[in-house]
Amino acid sequence: MPIQRRALLVAAAAGVLAAPRLARAQQGGGRLVILGGGFGGASAARFARDHHPDLEVTLVERSPRFTTCPYGNLVLAGRRDIESITFGYDRLAARGVRVVHQGATAVDAGRKRLRLADGAEIPYDKLIMSPGIDLRWGAVEGYDEAAATRMPHGWIPSQQPITVLQKQLEAMPEGGVFVMTIPDNPFRCPPGPYERISMVAEYLQRAKPRAKLIALDAKNGFSKQPLFQDAWAELYPDIVEWRGASEDGRVVRVNPAAMEVETEFGDKVKGDVVNVIPPQMAARIAREAGLANETGWCPVKPATMESALVPDIHVIGDACIAAPMPKSGFAANSHAKHAVACAAAALAGRAAPPATYFNTCYSHVGPDYGISIVGVYRGTPQRLEEVPGSGGISPRTAVLGERAAEHRRLEALYADGWYESITQDMFGIA
Amino acid sequence: MRKATILALTMLAMPAAAQERGLLLAGACQGCHGVSGGGSHGIPAIAATHRRAEFAAILRDFRENRREATVMGRIARGYSDEDIAALAAHYAARD
Ligand SMILES: Cc1cc2nc3c(=O)[nH]c(=O)nc-3n(C[C@H](O)[C@H](O)[C@H](O)COP(=O)(O)OP(=O)(O)OC[C@H]3O[C@@H](n4cnc5c(N)ncnc54)[C@H](O)[C@@H]3O)c2cc1C
């Protein structure tokens, strides 16, 4: 969006926001403010604008453009370019969302205001927070922001574009070693590291067939594990080596100068490229607003996604504790729609609708080879639980028999369909 | 034509809560079938493609494992009969 138009939009937003709106809440409308324009926040803004015309919808997002994590692994594999996974907010603005491109610095929950970096304050009746994650610098000894330039994480696109890791991968010598370190649960996108292993292996096989990939994992099990391991054995048997915690896979220290990582029991592994996916927590604004507990993540009421700690605030997406749901973009989109419905109901004095949440996460593991995990969940005042008998992962190849190739091909195709649908939804494209 | 009018009238008569239930459940469908249910990338269109009873029968077939699926069986097994009815009302009512 041209700077001038953005400035106008922001100014318009500020003008409207300054006007008193006291009577609105009684009418069933009200001021819905959404922090974070990613998978949770953008989806919430879109859904609120489409289905709750009586709400004033303001979306606060620091960056003018959003690059998705999903499909970033395909950029690594050289299958996509970064522009094709980057989006702006003009379509949401055109649909009537007030988009404010500012960093939020604090939440004043007492006065129900969101404070912005430029000093402005945005009053809200209901606030939906979807600020995503921060990395826990130092949780792996030696892994700080400086180390991350030598050993990229590629896990938060607004802090480090995936192209940083991609350039290192391309520059890696023939017969080189790509080392990846993977954290314990919970973290953003449980299947993400394993899709990345697959996509890096696909690239290596094509471009540097003598290279190796060593993945060092702090866990013994992971999402879609049998499917990923079947695929690696089938597609990349000489490239991928995965070591879990029981094989001393937990990395506790890094030495960026030596391009070396060190495991719990002192094994040192050197890489030509080192991708460190460090432990994570809810983004700073959520922690500073008192929305997080001692785990660093934000507890919520499973029936409404309202904060368990601060009234009139919903916390959705990766920042919240929604286990057994994974921290995924699909889940954030599902939380978003339900949170908007609950916020609107509360403002109109109605009971919250029953809570059903969804997740479908596809992973690409090779050309025409996709796999998925599905979950359907219900939230009650007591708990969030998976509907018994539902969900689960794609069948293993041995089970599918001769239908396997077609099944994998379709899931890879459907993954592309999912990506297109969800980004069209979030950014108001269709 | 007459059917469509009757459907539209039943939609109007449907309690707001049931309509909202359909809308919220449809959020999951939209994730892959597109915001307005039009489908893409080999994912079939689901909006206004079937009458209500047919739509519900397809979902039940997925749930009961009577219809070959990649992901739909796993999803449909999370739905109650009421959920399926609400989804059928949501999508079939658009024709
Ligand atoms: C490699 C990888 C692959 C993935 N693949 C998939 C996949 O295939 N399917 C899937 O469903 N999920 C996938 N995910 C997970 C998905 O990216 C996340 O779950 C999703 O982004 C979470 O959404 P969110 O809204 O919580 O956070 P985000 O999408 O990160 O959005 C947070 C937004 O808040 C903004 N923000 C934060 N603080 C402030 C502030 N103080 N002021 C203003 N703005 C602020 C940020 O700029 C950001 O735009 C993947 C993740 C990774 C890393």
User: Tens of pLDDT along A307-322?
Assistant: 999 999 999 999 999 9
- pLDDT over threshold 60, residue A343: yes
Give the pLDDT score at A246. 98
DSSP string over A56-74: EEEEE-S-SEEE-STTHHH
- The pLDDT of residue A371 is 98
Question: Does A2 have pLDDT greater than 70?
Answer: no
pLDDT value, residue A28? 64
Chain centroid to CA A54: 29
List of domains in chain A: 3-132+283-423 (3.50.50.60), 137-276 (3.50.50.60)
Q: How far apart are CA A72 and CA A51, in angstroms?
A: 31
User: DSSP string of A326-385?
Assistant: -S-HHHHHHHHHHHHHHHHHHHTTPPPPPEEEEEEEEEEEETTEEEEEEEEEEE-SS-EE
**Percent share of chain A, pLDDT over 90:** 93
From A189-193, A199-203, A328-332, B88-92, the region with the lowest mean pLDDT? B88-92
Confidence of residue B15 (pLDDT cuts 50, 70, 90): confident
Nearest CA to ligand 1 atom 6: A70
- Per-residue pLDDT at A333 exceeds 50: yes
When mean pLDDT is compared over A6-20, A37-51, B4-18, the highest value belongs to: A37-51
Q: Which residue minimizes the CA distance to atom 33 of ligand 1?
A: A36
The answer to whether residue B7 scores a pLDDT higher than 90 is no
User: Among A302-311, B42-51, B73-82, where is mean pLDDT lowest?
Assistant: B42-51
Strand, helix or coil for residue A53: coil
Judge whether residue A403 has pLDDT over 70: yes
| pLDDT tens, residue by residue, A176-225 | 999 999 999 999 999 999 999 999 999 999 999 999 999 999 999 999 99
What is the pLDDT confidence band of residue A24, given thresholds at 50, 70 and 90? very low
- Ligand 1 pocket, A158 CB below 6 A? yes
Question: Which among A174, A157, A35 is positioned nearest to A108, based on CA atoms?
Answer: A35
- H or E element at residue B6: helix B2-13
Q: Do A407 and B27 touch (CB under 8 A)?
A: no
What is the 3-class SS of B37-69, one letter each residue? CCCECCECCCCCCCCHHHHHHHHHHHHCCCCCC
A6-20, A67-81, A338-352, A411-425: lowest mean pLDDT where? A6-20
Identify the residue among B19, B23, B40, B59 best suited for mutation to test binding to A, counting A beta carbons within 10 A and taking the highest. B40
Does the Cβ of A66 fall within 6 Å of ligand 1? yes
Q: Which of A334, A358, A410 sits opposite B42 (nearest CB)?
A: A410
**∠ Cα A10 A56 A32 (to 5°):** 95
- State which ligand 1 atom lies nearest to the alpha carbon of A361: 9
Beta strands A177-182; A273-276: pairing state: parallel
Asked if B31 and A418 count as a contact pair (C-beta separation under 8 A), the reply is yes
Residues contacting residue B64 through CB under 8 Å, at least 6 positions apart: none
Q: Which of residues 33-72 of A touch B (CB under 8 A)?
A: 47, 51
Residue A21 confidence (pLDDT) above 70? no
Q: What are the CA-CA distances from residue A430 to residues A60, A96, A166, A424 (Å)? A: 21, 14, 31, 5
Which of A335, A373, A421, A425 best tests the B interface by mutation, with the highest count of B CBs <10 A?
Answer: A421
Which residue on chain B is closest to A408 by alpha carbon? B70
**Cis preceding linkage at A324, omega within 30:** yes
CATH number for B18-92: choose from 1.10.150.530, 3.30.450.40, 1.10.760.10, 1.10.510.10: 1.10.760.10
Is residue A180 within a helix (H) or strand (E), and if so which, with residue range? strand A177-182
In whole numbers, what is the pLDDT of chain A averaged over residues?
94
Residue A396 has pLDDT above 70, yes or no: yes
Q: In this predicted model, what pLDDT tens digit does every residue of A135-176 receive, in sequence order?
A: 999 999 999 999 999 999 999 999 999 999 999 999 999 999
User: What pLDDT is stored for residue B92 in this prediction?
Assistant: 87
Which 3 state secondary structure label does DSSP give A1? Answer: coil
Give the pLDDT score at B1: 43
Q: Is the pLDDT of residue A6 over 80?
A: no
What is the C-alpha to C-alpha distance for residues B34 and A424, in angstroms, rounded to an integer? 8
Cβ–Cβ < 8 Å for A234, A202: no
Q: Global pTM?
A: 0.93
Section B59-74 average pLDDT: 96
Q: Is the CB of A427 under 6 A from ligand 1?
A: no
A29 confidence band (pLDDT: 50, 70, 90): confident
Mean predicted confidence (pLDDT) in B56-78: 97
Per-residue pLDDT of A94-146, as tens digits, reads 999 999 999 999 999 999 999 999 999 999 999 999 999 999 999 999 999 99
Please give the pLDDT value at position B14.
Answer: 67
pLDDT at residue A290 greater than cutoff 70: yes
For ligand 1, whether the C-beta of A37 sits within 6 Å is: yes
Residue A261 makes CB contacts below 8 A (sequence gap 6+) with A179, A181, A216, A251, A253, A254, A255, A268, A269, A271, A274, A276
* Segment A343-364 mean pLDDT: 97
Q: Does residue A330 have its Cβ closer than 6 Å to ligand 1?
A: yes
pLDDT at A41 over 70: yes
Distance CA B19, CA B81 (A): 15
Asked if residues A376 and B79 have their Cβ atoms less than 8 Å apart, the reply is yes
Report the distance separating Cα A229 and Cα A236, nearest Å.
10
Give chain A positions within 8 Å (CB) of B32: 360, 414, 417-418, 421
Contact A201, A331 (CB under 8 A): no
Report the run of H or E that residue A299 belongs to, with start and end: strand A298-299
As for the ipTM of the complex, it is 0.89
Give the mean model confidence (pLDDT) for residues B23-44: 94
Please say if the pLDDT value at position A22 is more than 90: no
Contact A337 B27 (CB under 8 A): yes
Which chain B residues have a beta carbon less than 8 Å from that of A390?
A: 74-75, 77-79
